Amino acid sequence: MALAHFNDTNFSAEVLSSTQPVVVDFWAPWCGPCRMVGPIVEELSNEYAGKVKVGKLNVDESPQTAGRYGIMSIPTIVFFKGGKIMGQVVGALGKAELKRKIDETL
CATH code for the domain in which residue 80 is found: 3.40.30.10
Residues serving a catalytic function are 31, 34
- Residue 64, CA distances (Å) to 12, 56, 57 in order: 12, 15, 11
Q: Is residue 83 part of a domain?
A: yes
Residue 85 phi/psi, 5-degree rounding, is: -75, 125
Q: Is residue 29 part of a domain?
A: yes
Q: Is residue 53 part of a domain?
A: yes
Q: Is residue 97 part of a domain?
A: yes
Tens of each residue's pLDDT in the chain, 106 residues: 579 999 999 999 999 999 999 999 999 999 999 999 999 999 999 999 999 999 999 999 999 999 999 999 999 999 999 999 999 999 999 999 999 999 988 7
Q: Is residue 106 part of a domain?
A: no
Total count of domains within the chain:
1
Domain containing 51 equals 4-101
DSSP assignment string, the chain: -PPEEE-TTTHIIIIIT-SS-EEEEEE-TT-HHHHHHHHHHHHHHHHTTTT-EEEEEETTT-HHHHHHTT--SSSEEEEEETTEEEEEEES---HHHHHHHHHHH-
